[in-house]
Structure 1
Amino acid sequence: MTLRLGMPSNHSAPSAQVASPATTPIGSSGRAFASVVFAFTVVMLGTTLPTPLYAIYSDELGFGVTTTTVIFGVYAAGVIAALVLFGRWSDIVGRRPLLLAGAALSTASAVVFLTAGPVWQLMIGRVLSGLSAGIYAGAATAAVIELAPRGWRHRAPAIATAANIGGLGLGPLIAGLLAEFVAAPLRVPFAVDLVLLAAAMAGIWAITEPVAVRRGARLTVQRLSVPPEVRAVFLRASIAAFAGFAVMGTFTGVTPSFVSQILGISSHALAGILVSVLFLSSAVTQIVGRRLPTELSLIVGCAILVAGVGVLIGGLLAASFVLLLVGAVVCGIGQGLSFSKGLAAVVAASPADRRAEVTSSYFVVAYVAISIPIVGEGIAAAQWGLRTSGIVFDVVVGVLALIALALSVVAVSPSRARFRRR
């Protein structure tokens, strides 16, 4: 099956494939569509819910920023495992079983956090959360598009993006506000999450399977590879993706500690708002910019990401919340544009029968960027301090974004020269 999602969202699956019209039911109901959009939002919300709570866990359990980054990093391992192991399964066994399984894993994660004690329990919760996100990235994106009512079909990819990244942005916002203004800040956010997940699972249970299940089909692992003719495009796009996701990883894993320890701001609400702004800026950018030209937008996105990282460095040096907030907005815009257009370039350059492999590889690069660099920053913070390690990390990310920008400019220049000669 070929990839037919057009422009997938920031976390959309490498193998998220829409069934052909012959295998898709004609009568997709608005209720089923709304149920999948709601479930997508809730599951992704749960993945970032612990973000503003790490500072509280750190105080209560007595661990530092290194452990915080490891707890966050194992989430990415869960996502990668789900993308590789289960990326194709919803095409074989159906969307509905995978959506229920992903919601069940998200529920298990919320229960683990609700009853969390030792650090290892937090890590288990994050792995479960990563598995749920990896499953939903593909199955839910495809289901949103397949179940969209006829008049909403052209908007469905953008709605999937809004549910996906919007959910990621809502998680820290909701948890931060609850942690600031209600009792039991480590319990109430996950109790609320469980209520939302119960409603989401009820909605998914009631939908009709949107694709024809292939009887006797064999469950396979998603292969990773990049054909030689795609490698130049893949290299520059994946460098930009790595830089953008590394920024997201830093914000989600380290920013709450920086806000409390360096800025001296004890408000969990402000920490949650700071993180959510980055994700929501990315989501809005991907939706608004979905029709912009790919190559030019990739260049502009990389340039904006470089500028955003510069603002973040200024915020770290000046210990300024305002600069960090502005940097979050700018980085979100740059990440959203460079990642989505990088993915578009990779999809367009890939042979039709190899797109799932190539986009799987692209997403794995992105999630490696969330895990390994953030753990490295945590280790560096233990040696150099949170501010210094953050500045060094942002400089490296800025250099990567500059490399991606230079490669994109070089790639576009010959084609423009040929056009002018004509």
Structure 2
Amino acid sequence: MRLATGSAFVIAATAFILVFATAGAPISLFNSYRLDDGLSNADLGLVSLGYFFSAATALIVFGRLSNVVGRKPMALTALLCAVASCCLLLNMQHILVLFAARVLQGFACGIATGSIGAYVVDTSRGRPAWLVAAITSTSPMIGISSGAIVSGALVTWAPMPRMLIFILLIAILSICLLLFLFSPESIKARADVHARALASLRPRLYFPAERKWAFLTLAGVVVATWSLGAFYQAFGPSIVAEQLGTNSPILAALAFSSVMILTPMGGYLTSGLTPRRAVLLGMLLYIGAALMILVSLDNGWLPAFLCASLLVGIAQGAATTACFNVLLAGVTVEQRAGLLSSVFVISYAGAVVPGLVASLAASSFSVFQICVGYVVLGVAAAIAAMLTSFRLEPITACDRAAEVA
């Protein structure tokens, strides 16, 4: 039995989000690990750095492999890594276990980006362009935030607070694995598969020259937004505990997720704007929201903090969807995995480099002081994105025809 292409698109989009939901699930438990297992803020920063570094490594090394061996084998690999990470977290009692699980989740997310993300585009014929761009650009944020919220709710109100979320994820991931087995392959097999597979493992990023301004604009956008998201991922529970005065797991999950949960809305609200205007609007909104986050934390205003964080998500969705619309237009099937991998390598670099500095600084500076550093970086990157957005190329009918082909 083979599923139809339309069903494969839904399965791929769901699996893409689900892999990142697995990566978001432990975040609501970070404060529990900190209080019950003796982990420090520096430990949590290091663990998050391991996740981002392994994701970036997977993107660089395995990002183009699905062009050769097929989307399905790489997608299955990503899902299996996610399952293995959940199995480790069922018995989390030491930082090394958490670190190993986060590294596996990073590999799962990195491999999924180049394979499942490309498979979403491969099976998207007949779907609105803005929807495809929104899925490929915002699935990480949707997945991580939804995983954190569900996990936080289960930790707060369900039995087995440190295990139930991972049991459920193992079951759902296993269903996705089975569905992928019956999905059609979108890459045609070639005779020289072994030689081409080895060649694809050589680290190489794909940057179409005709889209250089879109890449530069997107680089500014993702450094601004992903770096702030990485701060929330590493220090979200500590923010809630130290700056906002509560140890509630569900509030920690909501605080962390608020910065990314509304990213799809940003893409939808600005779908009628030109890419240039969408980026300008998104980055102006980001700057205002980021400054409001600092004011809220300094004064302990939880509602204002959550509202400002939600606006960051909308800003991110508006700007990244616009850039993805430009980048994906006219890209062939063989180029999609490399392009998406290159984009997300930039994204993870925007999280890894500040995260390394933050993890080293966590022993000497408060969470609020670290947040100030992240906001300064984010505002500078957002301004750079606005400046380069004036050179964004328009999307032509020929680009759309080439993309469909």
Both proteins in one fold, TM over 0.5: yes
Query: Which of 237, 255, 275 is the matching residue for 1:256?
Result: 237
Whole-angstrom distance in 2 between the partners of 1:202 and 1:356: 23
1:185/1:351 CA distance change after superposition, 3 Å:
closer
Partner of 2:180: 204
Partner of 1:173: 149
What secondary structure is seen at the aligned counterpart in 2 of 1:383? coil
Query: Which of 259, 266, 281 is the matching residue for 1:300?
Result: 281
Partner of 2:192: 216
Alignment of 1:8-407 (within 5 A): 28-147=4-123, 152=127, 156-158=132-134, 164-217=140-193, 218-219=196-197, 220-221=200-201, 222-224=203-205, 234-345=215-326, 360-407=341-388
1:53/1:369 CA distance change after superposition, 3 Å:
same
Please say if residues 213 and 389 of structure 2, whose CA atoms lie closer than 8 Å, have aligned partners that are also in contact: no
Superposition deviation, residue 70 in structure 1 = 1.2
Tell me the number of residue pairs that the alignment of Structure 1 and Structure 2 aligns: 385
Whole-angstrom distance in 1 between the partners of 2:333 and 2:192: 24
Whole-angstrom distance in 2 between the partners of 1:268 and 1:57: 11
Please say if residues 36 and 203 of structure 1, whose CA atoms lie closer than 8 Å, have aligned partners that are also in contact: no
Superposition deviation, residue 177 in structure 1 = 0.3
Partner of 1:11: none
Superposition deviation, residue 157 in structure 1 = 4.9
What secondary structure is seen at the aligned counterpart in 1 of 2:205? coil
Whole-angstrom distance in 2 between the partners of 1:216 and 1:313: 55
Whole-angstrom distance in 1 between the partners of 2:343 and 2:67: 20
Please say if residues 316 and 391 of structure 1, whose CA atoms lie closer than 8 Å, have aligned partners that are also in contact: no
151-160 or 396-405: bigger deviation: 151-160
222-231 or 283-292: bigger deviation: 222-231
135-144 or 256-265: bigger deviation: 135-144
TM-score by length of 2: 0.85
255-264 or 33-42: bigger deviation: 33-42
Partner AA of 1:300 in structure 2: L
Superposition deviation, residue 232 in structure 1 = 5.4
Please say if residues 162 and 284 of structure 1, whose CA atoms lie closer than 8 Å, have aligned partners that are also in contact: no
Whole-angstrom distance in 2 between the partners of 1:196 and 1:351: 32
Superposition deviation, residue 325 in structure 1 = 0.5
152-161 or 244-253: bigger deviation: 152-161
- For residues 378-404 of structure 1, the C-alpha deviation after alignment (integer angstroms, 9 at most, x for no partner) is 332321211222123212322332233
- For residues 264-292 of structure 1, the C-alpha deviation after alignment (integer angstroms, 9 at most, x for no partner) is 21211111122223222112212443453
Please say if residues 177 and 269 of structure 1, whose CA atoms lie closer than 8 Å, have aligned partners that are also in contact: yes
Whole-angstrom distance in 2 between the partners of 1:256 and 1:137: 27
Whole-angstrom distance in 2 between the partners of 1:227 and 1:40: 24
Superposition deviation, residue 93 in structure 1 = 1.2
Superposition deviation, residue 406 in structure 1 = 3.7
Partner of 1:20: none
Superposition deviation, residue 168 in structure 1 = 2.3
Superposition deviation, residue 95 in structure 1 = 1.5
Whole-angstrom distance in 1 between the partners of 2:355 and 2:188: 41
- For residues 62-103 of structure 1, the C-alpha deviation after alignment (integer angstroms, 9 at most, x for no partner) is 121111111111111121112111112222111211111111
Partner AA of 1:261 in structure 2: E
Please say if residues 377 and 390 of structure 1, whose CA atoms lie closer than 8 Å, have aligned partners that are also in contact: no
Superposition deviation, residue 114 in structure 1 = 1.2
**RMSD over aligned Cα atoms:** 2.9
31-40 or 112-121: bigger deviation: 31-40
Superposition deviation, residue 258 in structure 1 = 1.0
Whole-angstrom distance in 2 between the partners of 1:53 and 1:370: 21
What secondary structure is seen at the aligned counterpart in 2 of 1:137? helix
1:266/1:168 CA distance change after superposition, 3 Å:
same
TM-score by length of 1: 0.82
What secondary structure is seen at the aligned counterpart in 2 of 1:342? helix
Whole-angstrom distance in 2 between the partners of 1:285 and 1:43: 22
1:34/1:86 CA distance change after superposition, 3 Å:
same
Superposition deviation, residue 178 in structure 1 = 0.7
Whole-angstrom distance in 2 between the partners of 1:33 and 1:343: 18
255-264 or 139-148: bigger deviation: 139-148
Partner of 1:9: none
Ranges in structure 1 where 5+ consecutive residues have no aligned partner: 1-25, 413-422
